Structure 1
Amino acid sequence: ALYLTYEYVPSPRAAIAGVRKLPPGHRMVWHNGQVEISRYAPDPFARRSFHALGEDAQLEALRDGLTRSVKRRLMADVDLGLFLSGGLDSAAVLASMAAHVDPRTIRTFTIGFDEPSYDETRHAAEVARMFGTRHHVRTMLADDLLELLPAIRGWLDEPFADPSLVPTHFLARFAREHVKVALGGDGGDELLLGYDTFLADTGARFYRLAPRWLRDQVARSADWLPARHGNFRPEFILRRFVRGADAESAPSRHMRWLSSVMPGAPDDPLRAELRAAITTAAIERVMAEPYTRHEGLTHAQRMSAMYFSSYLSNGILTKIDRASMAVGLEVRAPFLDPEVIALAVSLPPTLKLRAGLITKYALKRSLRGTLPAHLRHRRKHGFGMPVARWLRTTLAGELRRALAPERLRAAGMLDPVVVTRLVEEHISGRHDHRKVLWTLLVFEWWRERHRVTL
């Protein structure tokens, strides 16, 4: 149930009964026949005060701290590169790299897709031209997906359903042809409030002020909208917003917005008797624990702590580690340097989510004079692949094979009637079930490889 919700198995739990994972920032010591687990990394959100400097000084401190962090990560005996997405975080890292080395020696790597709503190569190329890097571009096609999947299925020791794992691995393999170390922009969205879900959180406060009849009408209207399969289409965004906006608590809202499967929803494929064995509160606890633990902080800081402790550590960093180390590429994250983390945490909420409407405001302001306004304020795109379309076309046969009713009945975990409905609605184009179907497909691949049954 936790995997179906979050697309990963949150630590310290594991997919195999009787197995536990060591949580991030912890150590395990075997002493006198006993296992002792303790935290060695300090909680960066334990601090209860904000920086005393003025706004301009705080922005300068953040920019200088990131530059020092990048400099520390440029130390290597091998060639280095940069994952350049066209987004703000990787552009900020590139600006810091250019402060220490000749940009003409920096190799930047971008991948694109033949579906325009997923392709950022034009924006990445513009940033690369600004700095004069040695820019490398490659397009990922459906045939590349088919080529990569056997290897990915082989090295996943747990089911992990973030679809961006596949293009991240494609990018890492591409970069490894030229370099052995690459820098990336991971961590910026969690520390500086860059995700669209933080904007949704602002919108939800106003949405809940509307009368119930109006909210019900909005929810029905969202269901009536035709399904299109591009990246973050308006109807997809509206449906995701509505499914979480009514929740009273922040952890519950964000769990619903991030989840593949909302517990108890019509698209919940888990067998009823298994679903009854775990409560929604137990599933929400993954998000609720870090939010509740930092009760003394502002709502914005607590949201940051919530994403940092759950989504980043269990999801994003797991993805980048698996995808890159499978090809022997080391990826370094300047935003996760202790100095940068401390600086980001100390910033007041108004420098992160300005007026509840401008995400990652501190980074955008700190790059004024370095990046043009249209790049600094471009809407967050997200890194993914056209999974909705590929599930309808390239992977349609595999989807029907892996999620065939007889296979599901034999395994005893998923409801064949619900799953078959989801598969046929998606392939026909009537509904967009990309998140839940990819999550189920990855689970079945993992279960098949490891011969897991109930």
Structure 2
Amino acid sequence: MCGICGQYIRSGSPATDVLERMNDCQCHRGPDDDGIFRDGSVGLAHRRLSIIDPESGGQPIHNENGTVTVIFNGEIYNYGHIKDRLTSAGHRFTTETDTEVLVHLYEEEGPSFVDELDGMFAFALWDSERERLLLARDPMGIKPLVLAETDDQFAFASELPSLFESDMDLGGIDRDALAQYFAFGYIPAPKTAFRNVSKVRPGERILISDDGIDREKYHDPSITLRDPDIDTAASHLRSLVESAVEKRLMADVELGAFLSGGIDSTIIVGAMAQLLDDPVKTFTVGFNQDRFDESWAAREVASFHNTDHHEITLTANDVRDSVPAVLNKLGEPFADPALMPSYAVSRATRNNVKVALSGDGADELFAGYDKYRVESLSKYYRALPSQIRKYAVEPAVNALPASRGTAVGDAVYKGQWFINRSGARSVPERHFDLMRVSDDHAIQSVTNVDPIEAGQTTLRSQHAAISPELTDRESLARIQAVDTRLSLPDQMLTKVDQASMYNSLEVRVPFLDTAVVEYALSLPTDHKLTGRDRKRVLKRAFDDLLPESILQRNKHGFDMPIGEWFKHELADEFVSTVRSTDLGILDTAATLDLFEEHVDGNHDHSRFLWTVYVFKHWALRMQEQGVLE
């Protein structure tokens, strides 16, 4: 796992000192080695986290005559088969790394070689004979890549802050992107916070030359609808997941696993335990507040699978201390609260191993989230006469005090969440209501942009683009398919990459093997979610690896009690940050009124307040660095 960056300048040559500055910005992605390459109009820079062939796998890597050069971030799990084929065809290899197969496979097949890669990756490849630069990102969007573009220059990087050092005009704030941020808590691809910068989309291939730029989607999950019986589906799914786990054990360094005590991480740990001779090293984070702490479940799983278990406890002070370190690295606002505990567990994990497997992706594929159950049940709520819903149920429930700090308050919060997200008539509108970070009341404090319109437009576009085969399936299947293209790469996987790579840790996600993804999306909804159960087929497939207590427990998110901390330990911090700067996006007085409502316990605005806090912190940081005026 690494960091990559570089430039393409049509009428000049990239400067070495600029490439060095860009590269230094992401040294946390690769503390083991670095390299820079310049050739005419192109400059490439690389930071290396050594996982395979640590001794001789430094980058950039070239073909036999030096006409093809690559810098690479990620892992290619089928590189051994590709290498054998290329060796038989006469290609000479000088390292044992997976990276080197890229230059030789490109020689054989040109830009279309990306179709053959099985892995997680982002890379830049320079063809000096044809004078073209190829950029590509893996099909599921596990590894990030951003691209800045002006009339005569391009710059790319694994992370936005590297582009701040490229001396390019980033175009200033993209207000449309910030509207999406206040809709979702993150900015969906291809947009970023800056007008001249875009995210390379999952499964996208880009060619840059003097003729311009050509962007092409080379892969979307292929969905062939199936209707096997539940036992047949479970058997096949188990085979696919076990194969995916086995492939991701490829490394020349020690591996471990994240363990939350939930279904997904337990399955990954169990599969690893069956494949490895030594106990799996497992890592979890707990809270010193019982309502949010799941470390007990992780301990039960660790005992069940006889792992070498490591546990840390996170407090409000830990968050206060970590927030600047994490948020200062963000190139754009990103408000998933789980970034903080993910960062903490990644830090603890990196003290012991360089690579960890995780259970991310299974919730999207097998309907694990609460929002999927809400969508499944919402048809019954919509069956009530609209006048009863609008004038009786909703006013009564919304008038109750909500707080996630108590059992009763949390029940009220969930009830409000359900009724306020179940009434929309169209699937994209309901989908937006399930994803949005705030209700209509809170969103009124956002000025000069329209998060609701931006969010609904994004969801309408995403639903229109999903596989035609899914249009006749129930709404939940369509929502899951859109989530694999939207919230999975742009929220979940972004969080995982940031939290882990800030700590120089590589995270691998077996559930996002393309074969697992495509099979899961092809299965009927009732194999995943019923009135009484969720992740049904996944549990059936791995019931022998799941302790009974884990099978029976309810789904819990890997979250932090930020709403309670805003009422107490982080209250002053929130107020001072909100007052610190003004970009004309938020009404400060209205925002502080929402904060008072939250502190008084009248409404739970924790998600929106965290979104505001992250945005304000980011804006202040950008102004201090001179990125924003």
TM-score class, shorter-chain normalisation, is: over 0.9
CA distance in 1, matches of 2:269, 2:446: 48
Which residue of 385, 399, 404 maps to 2:560? 385
Asked if the contact 1:83–1:108 (Cα under 8 Å) also holds between the matched residues in 2, the reply is: yes
Contact 1:86/1:123 (<8 A) preserved: yes
Match in the other structure for 1:431:
603
Given candidates 353, 356, 359, the residue that maps to 1:185 is 359
TM-score by length of 2: 0.67
In the alignment, is the contact (CA less than 8 A) between 1:5 and 1:260 conserved in 2? yes
Higher Cα radius of gyration: 2
The equivalences for 1:239-258 within 5 A come to 239-258=416-435
Would you say the 8 A contact 2:438–2:605 is kept in 1?
Answer: no
Deviation at 1:8, TM superposition (A): 0.4
Unaligned 5+ segments in structure 2 are 1-178
1:115 partnered with 2:289: yes
Residue 402 (structure 1) shift: 1.5
How far is 1:345 from its partner?
2.1
1:420 equivalent in structure 2 = 592
- Partners of 2:451 and 2:270 lie apart in 1 by 47
Moved more, 53-62 or 312-321: 53-62
- 1:352 deviates by 1.3
1:142 aligns with 2:299: no
Q: Distance in 1 between matches of 2:494 and 2:340?
A: 13
Residue 202 of structure 2 aligns to a residue whose secondary structure is coil
The aligned counterpart of 1:445 is: 617
Tell me which amino acid in the other structure corresponds to 1:352: K
Higher percent of residues as strand: 2
Q: Are 1:320 and 2:457 an aligned pair?
A: no
**Which residue of structure 2 lines up, in the alignment, with residue 10 of structure 1?**
188
More helix, by proportion: 1
Equivalence for 1:394: 569
Displacement of 1:271:
4.7
* Runs of 4+ with >4 A deviation: 269-272
The alpha-carbon deviation at position 231 of structure 1 amounts to 8.5
Q: Select the residue among 292, 311, 325 that pairs with 1:151.
A: 325
3-state SS of 1:245 partner: coil
Q: Offset of 1:230 from its aligned partner? A: 3.0
- d(CA) in 2 for partners of 1:228 and 1:435? 12
User: Is the 8 Å Cα contact of residues 108 and 136 (structure 1) preserved in structure 2?
Assistant: yes
Indicate the SS of the match to 2:442: coil
**Which is worse superposed, 414-423 or 340-349?**
340-349
Please say if 1:296 is aligned against 2:469.
Answer: yes
Q: Secondary structure at the match of 1:411?
A: coil
CA distance in 2, matches of 1:67, 1:157: 36
How far apart are the structure 1 equivalents of 2:359 and 2:607?
A: 24
The alpha-carbon distance between structure 1 residues 330 and 231, as it changes in their structure 2 partners (threshold 3 A), is: farther
For 2:206, the equivalent position in structure 1 comes to 28
Instruction: For residue 270 of structure 1, report the CA deviation from its aligned partner.
Output: 4.5
Residues 271 and 148 from structure 1, CA distance in 2 versus in 1: closer, same or farther, beyond 3 angstroms?
Answer: closer
Query: What do residues 244-271 of structure 1 show as CA deviations (whole Å, max 9, x unaligned)?
Result: 1110122221221221134xx1211445
CA shift at 1:286, angstroms? 2.5
Please state whether the residue corresponding to 1:155 is helix, strand or coil.
Answer: coil
Change over 3 Å in CA distance of 1:367–1:48 after alignment to 2? closer
After superposition, what is the alpha-carbon deviation per residue over 1:316-365, rounded to whole angstroms, capped at 9, x for unaligned?
Answer: 000000010011000000001122112212322221123x5422111111
TM-superposed deviation, 1:105: 2.2
The aligned counterpart of 2:484 is: 308
Q: Report Cα offsets for 1:36-68 as digits up to 9, x if no partner.
A: 11112x221x424216x4432221110111111
Which of 540, 551, 566 is equivalent to 1:365? Answer: 540
- Rounded Cα–Cα distance in structure 2 between residues aligned with 1:29 and 1:270: 42
Amino acid at match of 2:217: R
CA contact (8 A) 1:202 1:357 kept: no
Equivalent positions of 1:265-284 (< 5 A) are: 265-272=440-447, 274-275=448-449, 278=450, 280-284=452-456
Distance 1:7 1:435 in 2: 8
Deviation at 1:115, TM superposition (A): 1.1
Q: What's the CA shift for 1:377?
A: 3.2
Question: Which one-letter code corresponds to 2:316 in the other structure?
Answer: A
Asked whether the equivalents of residues 185 and 335 of structure 1 are also in contact (C-alpha less than 8 Å), the reply is: yes
Cα distance in 2 for partners of 1:383, 1:296 equals 33
Tell me if 1:211 matches 2:211. no
Task: Name the amino acid aligned to 2:363.
Answer: D
Distance 1:375 1:139 in 2: 21
What is the rounded CA distance, in whole Å, between the counterparts of 2:444 and 2:499 in structure 1? 28
Secondary structure of the residue aligned to 1:99 is helix
More moved, 291-300 vs 25-34: 291-300
Kindly indicate whether structure 1 or structure 2 has the higher relative contact order, using CA contacts under 8 Å at least 6 residues apart.
1
Q: Please say if residues 529 and 536 of structure 2, whose CA atoms lie closer than 8 Å, have aligned partners that are also in contact.
A: yes
Within-5 A mapping of 1:339-354: 339-354=515-530
After TM superposition, the structure 1 stretch with the greater mean CA deviation from structure 2, 132-141 or 220-229, is: 220-229
SS of aligned partner of 1:37: strand
Distance change (3 Å), C-alpha of 1:435 and 1:158: same
Would the aligned equivalents of 2:263 and 2:546 in 1 still touch at CA under 8 Å? no
Which amino acid counterpart does residue 146 of structure 1 have in structure 2? Answer: R
Matched residue count: 441
**2:252 aligned with 1:74, yes or no?**
no
SS of the residue aligned with 2:443? coil
Equivalents in 1 of 2:428, 2:481: separation in Å? 11
Distance in 1 separating the partners of 2:340 and 2:348 = 12
SS in 2 for 1:132: coil
Distance 2:334 2:202 in 1: 17
Q: Is the 8 A contact 2:437 2:607 kept in 1?
A: yes
Q: Distance in 2 between matches of 1:359 and 1:285?
A: 29
Q: Map Cα deviations across residues 380-399 of structure 1 (whole Å, 9 max, x no partner).
A: 10110110111111211111
Distance 1:66 1:95 in 2: 11
Read off the aligned partner of 1:110 and give its amino acid letter: T
Give the match's secondary structure for 1:225.
coil
Percent identity, aligned pairs only, is 36
Q: Does 1:261 align with 2:261?
A: no
Structure 2: how far apart are the matches of 1:438 and 1:362? Answer: 35
1:49 aligned to 201, 208, 225, which one? 225
What is the TM-score of this pair, normalised by structure 1? 0.92
